[in-house]
Amino acid sequence: MRTVTTFGLAALLLGGAAFVLTESAANADAAAGEKVASVAKGDPVKGKQVYNLYCLPCHGDKGDGKGPVGVTLQPPPRDFVKGEFKYASNDQELFEVITGGAAARGGSPLMTPWGAILSENDRWNVLRFIRSLKGTAVSAQ
Ligand code: HEC
């Protein structure tokens, strides 16, 4: 009788331990999933449509900053093919520049805030698209 009880207790404890292990593994998976999701936030294909409508006149059809309006501006619009940013060193900051405009960071007011015009998803989509332009084309000159 005693053996059975001990065995039963051991089984319970083991079961509990296994449960805890499974739980923490599931949490680790969830955390990893969130990380992957935040790295890949935004859809570049949808972002291209947003870009063509709103950004292309300044940033250019190749993303090199030489759009028909862009060539007339000083400072020039950012060259996304080069892919170097002045006010942002990661996706979150880039998202904030697109949302709040460059003037909020001491830059050109011609890079206007897009937060009231584009949905949050569209801002992530266009961000993912301009990120995808880095190194894509060789400038004509
Ligand atoms: C009217 C012209 C114009 C339009 C339209 C425009 N931009 Fe810009 N953009 C600029 C200029 C000018 C700069 C450079 C600002 C500076 O150096 O201070 C710039 C800079 C940027 C930067 C660089 C920020 C950094 O940290 O270096 C990003 C990103 C950007 N634009 C994204 C966009 C997106 C996305 C759109 C469309 C939704 C867009 N721009 C539309 C003119 C424009």
Ligand 1 centroid distance, CA of 38 (Å)? 23
Q: Would you give per-residue pLDDT tens digits along the chain (141 residues)? A: 555 555 555 555 555 555 444 455 545 555 555 555 455 699 999 999 999 999 999 999 999 999 999 999 999 999 999 999 999 999 999 999 999 999 999 999 999 999 999 999 999 999 999 999 999 866 544
Ligand 1 centroid distance, CA of 137 (Å)? 19
Given the candidates 1.10.3720.10, 1.10.760.10, 1.10.4190.10, 2.40.160.40, the CATH classification of the domain at 44-132 is 1.10.760.10
| Ligand 1 within 6 A of CB of 78 | yes
For residue 124, with 0-12 CB atoms within 10 Å meaning exposed, 13-18 middle and 19 or more buried, which class applies? buried
| Ligand 1 within 6 A of CB of 107 | yes
Task: Locate 53 and state its tokens.
Answer: 């409508």
Element (H or E) spanning 64, and its range?
none
- Whole-number Å distance between alpha carbons of 52 and 55: 6
| Ligand 1 within 6 A of CB of 87 | yes
- Tell me the pTM: 0.78
* Residue 139: closest CA among 46, 48, 76: 76
